Amino acid sequence: MFKIILGLTIAASLSGCDLYPPYRVYNAKMNGEAELAQANYAKQVQVQDALAKKESAKSLADAEVIRASGVAKANAIIGESLKGNESYLRYLWIQNLSASEGKGQVIYVPTEAGLPILEASRKP
């Protein structure tokens, strides 16, 4: 009985020696395929992320163009409504001067054209 077990053990170890190199090749192949699949997946994730950023940038640019168009139209409407409205502009200027009374001092300086200097800095 001992001889049979010894014979089977020796036979198994010898056959294992014959099977081990092909297993190493198979194992290396499977590991390589797994790494390749993981690299391909990582690449796809990066590509999708880049595409999402590109679409987002395009949408943000479109929104900025729409906003700028709205601002331009508003400016045109305001500019058109202020043409020939000298009395309203003078009223707004006087209101602004009245509102700034508590904040600072308004000094009128006569000039040759009879226009006040509105912005002048005072250095102590």
> pTM, whole model, 2 decimals?
0.45
Query: Domain extents for the chain?
Result: 2-98
Report how far residue 15's alpha carbon sits from residue 13's, in angstroms, rounded to the nearest whole number. 5
Report how far residue 124's alpha carbon sits from residue 122's, in angstroms, rounded to the nearest whole number. 6
- What's residue 87's pLDDT? 83
Q: For the chain, first and last CA: distance in Å?
A: 115
- What's residue 91's pLDDT? 83
Q: What angle do CA 36, 42, 45 make, to 5 degrees?
A: 145
* Percent of the chain's residues with pLDDT above 90: 36
- Who wins on pLDDT, 40 or 124? 40
Q: Which helix (H) or strand (E) holds 13?
A: helix 2-82
pLDDT band at 16 (very low <50, low <70, confident <90, very high): low
Task: Quickly count: other Cβ atoms within 10 Å of residue 97's Cβ.
Answer: 13
